[in-house]
Structure 1
Amino acid sequence: MISLVHHKGIAITSNYNGLPIIEAVYKCAQENPDNYLLVYEKTADVDAFKAALAELNHRAYFFSNYNIAHPDIGYVEDSPFLNINKKVTYPTWLKGTAIVCMHANLINGSVHTHATIKNYLYWLNSIGKLSQTQGVLNYQIPTTIQNEEFKTYELYRFVKQHYKTRWIFILLLCHLWYEKRFPLIAFVRTIFNKKSSLKIDVNDLQAFKEIHAKANFEYDVVIPTMGRASYLKDVLLDLNSQKILPNKVIVIEQNADSHATSDLGFVKDEQWDFEIVHEFTHITGACRARNRAITLSSANWILLFDDDVRFENDFSTRIFDFIKDSKVKCVSFSCLQKGEIEKQSNYLQWPAFGSGCSMVHREVAESCKFDMALEHGYGEDVDYGMQIRNAGYDVIYASHIQMLHLKAPVGGFRKPHVFSWQEDTVLPKPSPQIMYHRSKNYTPKQLLGYKLTLFIKFYKHYSIKNPITYYKYFKKAWSKSIYWSQKLAQDANV
């Protein structure tokens, strides 16, 4: 690792002394193409930062200290990468300028698109934003807390260059509506800026260092099921054919009919090469079922599954190989329906989480729990992913580990659950589960940006065409959603 020290934007390391920091970084990267660069302000706590760095087992990492860049980005970005937990190493493309660690290969790959940028904060965040979607793993380490922000013009320029053009109009509307200000000059100055790009060889960056040591890989499988006996049997048969067998398969069978009995006679009647823990209940709900199953598990790794998937006999081997190389604690797989083709060619940080197609380490499972406020609704998997990030872990999507999701036409949770608000004259908008998730996991400005885009998006779907009348109705629907989302939280904690 090569160190490069700067002060107030000027390099002070001997070989690069006096150069603007971006110019010094490019020169240093060109002279040291096979190394990580540690670039830091001379007053920064570099020892604490280095101690918190992950094992650099590939070249696709990009770390910085904590910084927000600009809270108003929340008006336009709908992702889990903005509401950062400052107590843990958190996955986000946002960057600070006090301490940065990135590989020279990534820096050199940006020379044709970013070398003319003079603003160091802008340069770092642009590379972070563009590289994350391509497969560079971006993180903030909670040392040297900064609150260095883009100026208003830089904010509009960043949005124009890194998001679809419509988002600078949304940003302007948010500033006008919520903040009663009209930054017209910043808006006009950026309207003709071209989109930024970054061309890097991500496959080269992601190549893992060769690991010879063998790791212990034991896993349990968690499957909630409801009315899909034949599909579940196929899942068990696929598990039984794995080259690396599970220790236990924990099946939580649910049937709301108080007179019903189990449909899964084959669990006990047939021979399996692993232990099956089968629990039957009349209480339905995927959140409760998964939480219950996890408490019955004992292996270091837990495979969260649906009851209507199919996969090849090397499925667990591919998972093991990826975990061994990547050192990740949570991985979600490509879950394709028949006829679908995976478009992603490499692994990357995922803004979601698959509750039926993921492997998590026990450390993760003991830090997180499926939120009962979202039972019988939706969003529990995305919320679980947020819990993972807030616990100091990351969700990595491995596109090369694939399974088929049959989307069974029978069983499951296909009977709609009737919620109390469905009797209201004014129905909540968005659904209370979405409001609950967003209020819990996103920044206040992300929620306001979502509110405005929802208002615009659903205008054409409502029968009310008078804009003023529609606005009044939408306000009531939004308030109803807030009320019922708070009720969901209260009821879940009873």
Structure 2
Amino acid sequence: MIKFVHRHSAKIVAIYKDAKPLEGYADEVVTAFWAVANDYPDQWICWLEEEQVHNFNELVFSEIFHHKLIMASCAVKTSFFNKDIGYVDQFPFAVVNRSVNYPTWLMSSDMGAIHATVVLKFQKNFSRFSDFEYLLNAIAKLGQHNGLFCYHSPQLAIKRSENINYKAVEADLFSFTCQLYKKIRAVILFLCFMQYKKKYPFKSFIFNCFKLNFFATEIDFSDISIESSKPKTDHSIDVIIPTIGRPKHLLNVLKDVKKQSLLPQKVIVVEQNPDVGSTSDFDFAAEDWPFEIQHIFTHQTGACNARNLALEEVTASWVFFCDDDIRFKSNIIHEAFICVDQFGVGALNLNCKQENEKNTYFKVKQWASFGSGTSFVYSEKLKSLSFDIALEYGYGEDKDFGMQLRNQGVDIIYHPEIEIIHLKAPMGGFRTKTTKPWEQTKPIPKPSPTVMTYIQKNYTVEQQRGYQLILWFKFYKSQKIKNPFKYKRIMQKRWAVSERWAAKLQQNRRS
């Protein structure tokens, strides 16, 4: 390990390799950073603010950096971007739960580490960056998009301050947005500053719009071998399947599970039928199964409730969240555990697509969502979690559950090569046709109250405002009102109606 000690991200104080000083490097931090990476490509480079040297908890280093494609830092006192980044970024990575090992590209110069081999992947594109903190965040932002695993790791520090100081100024925010996001996001940022901060940053906006953009830049990590040093978990697994009115499709799923090279301990089927007096559509005893089938029958419909009932019955180390209208190959569970062991993660989202659908993403990467019908999760982390009933029959329950996992310190990764085929069978999605009460009102809320509930639970104020502005722009071309002032008034009313319905949903959940 090389320790890279700096003062305020500007000057080098000392550089150590295995506690021995390294001499001959420039005093300027970024110049020395590139030079050290080139001279020692097989080493971890650990950066430390001068006053944090004795606050660094080296005992946890191998636990956090358990494979080479990990970049992590800890904001002890300072971080770079404040919450204004939420105007342009509504992903969960742009807001950090600092109490757990949380997936994020937001990096602090207080302390952190990255492998030199990874650093060198960015030198061609970022060699002209002169601000060390800006460079760290740019590496993490572009790297995460290409398969680098980035975290805020509070365990790195022995002591942390409750208050964080943010260093980036307005010009840094606009520069970063223009260089690491689609440039249209800089327009969104400018409009948010005008509307919500009552500022008119013309200089920052115009000057940075002409900077080179790296959003679509490909970084190839394929030559870096990944094998997590974490202890491998027990591979016992339970499968949970909510279903309603699709016996033939459920039978096909069970047959796919039956063919697995690695069999589950138990399949928990939660069958829903709203008709009082109805009985099950299934006769599980008609066929021999090489696993236990635990059948739960309920008249209460809803996938959130069904999955919560199933989670109470889980006894294995892992859970396969499975839909009742998917198909998969006979080695999918085995392949999933190979990936789990290789990357040392607690949640794996498989590539779920329709037949003949082409892949959109091609790299194993940290995932911003969660698939409640296509995921593997370590069950130890599920004990205090449940699907939010306020989101029943709507949209957002998957993403909300994913946020609950992240706030438990569980990273969710996506694997493009482990595929599930989603048949989109009749009576799919919500399974039963329901008419929401807000669909009978005028104006109809926009977004839907369940989406608003998710937003209110998981977004910062800045992310909510950025989402609102982007929603209005996207929806403008598909509706009839073309007068922008009238359109804005109508959309503000629809947003307010959505907020009121969201409050009712949350109140009903608590009652």
For Structure 1 versus Structure 2, the TM-score category normalised by the shorter chain is: over 0.9
Match of 2:214 among 171, 192, 196: 196
Over the matched positions of the two proteins, sequence identity in percent amounts to 37
Cα deviation per residue 1:118-142 (whole Å; 9 max; x = unaligned)?
A: 1111111111110001000000123
Amino acid at match of 1:345: F
Rounded to whole Å, the distance in 1 between the matches of 2:360 and 2:489 is 42
Rounded to whole Å, the distance in 1 between the matches of 2:147 and 2:255 is 34
Match of 1:247 among 242, 265, 272: 265
CA 1:481/1:249 → structure 2, altered by over 3 Å: closer, same or farther?
A: same
Structure 2 gap ranges (5+)? 15-20
Relative to the length of structure 2, the TM-score reads: 0.92
Where does residue 123 of structure 1 map in the other structure? 135
Task: Tell whether 2:154 aligns with 1:153.
Answer: no
Rounded to whole Å, the distance in 2 between the matches of 1:350 and 1:214 is 22
SS at match of 1:367: coil
Task: Tell whether 2:25 aligns with 1:24.
Answer: no
CA 1:199/1:421 → structure 2, altered by over 3 Å: closer, same or farther?
A: closer
Where does residue 301 of structure 2 map in the other structure? 284
Amino acid at match of 2:13: I
SS at match of 1:445: helix
Rounded to whole Å, the distance in 2 between the matches of 1:187 and 1:342 is 35
Bigger drift between 435-444 and 458-467 goes to 458-467
SS at match of 1:110: helix
CA 1:422/1:345 → structure 2, altered by over 3 Å: closer, same or farther?
A: closer
Rounded to whole Å, the distance in 2 between the matches of 1:137 and 1:105 is 14
Query: How far did residue 482 of structure 1 move?
Result: 0.7
CA 1:111/1:199 → structure 2, altered by over 3 Å: closer, same or farther?
A: farther
Query: How far did residue 302 of structure 1 move?
Result: 0.7
SS at match of 2:22: helix
Amino acid at match of 2:31: E
Amino acid at match of 2:448: S
Rounded to whole Å, the distance in 2 between the matches of 1:32 and 1:199 is 24
Match of 1:456 among 473, 477, 482: 473
Rounded to whole Å, the distance in 2 between the matches of 1:49 and 1:418 is 56
Rounded to whole Å, the distance in 2 between the matches of 1:70 and 1:209 is 32
Where does residue 15 of structure 1 map in the other structure? 22
Query: How far did residue 461 of structure 1 move?
Result: 3.1
Cα deviation per residue 1:173-203 (whole Å; 9 max; x = unaligned)?
A: 1111111110111111112111036554312
SS at match of 2:63: coil
Task: Tell whether 2:193 aligns with 1:175.
Answer: yes
Amino acid at match of 1:207: I
Task: Tell whether 2:275 aligns with 1:257.
Answer: yes
Task: Tell whether 2:80 aligns with 1:61.
Answer: no
Cα deviation per residue 1:33-86 (whole Å; 9 max; x = unaligned)?
A: 112111111211543375276353421101011335132211111211122111
Amino acid at match of 2:22: N
Cα deviation per residue 1:92-134 (whole Å; 9 max; x = unaligned)?
A: 0011111121010111111111122111111111111100010
Bigger drift between 330-339 and 460-469 goes to 460-469
Cα deviation per residue 1:266-318 (whole Å; 9 max; x = unaligned)?
A: x1221100000001111100000001001011011111000011111111111
Where does residue 43 of structure 1 map in the other structure? 51
Count of residues paired in the alignment: 492
Alignment of 1:130-141 (within 5 A): 130-141=142-153
Where does residue 335 of structure 1 map in the other structure? 352
Relative to the length of structure 1, the TM-score reads: 0.95
Amino acid at match of 2:5: V
Rounded to whole Å, the distance in 2 between the matches of 1:346 and 1:74 is 25
Q: 8 Å contact 1:304–1:359 — kept in the other structure?
A: yes
Rounded to whole Å, the distance in 1 between the matches of 2:438 and 2:358 is 39
Q: 8 Å contact 1:218–1:246 — kept in the other structure?
A: yes
Amino acid at match of 2:492: K
Task: Tell whether 2:407 aligns with 1:390.
Answer: yes
Amino acid at match of 1:487: K
Rounded to whole Å, the distance in 2 between the matches of 1:464 and 1:39 is 54
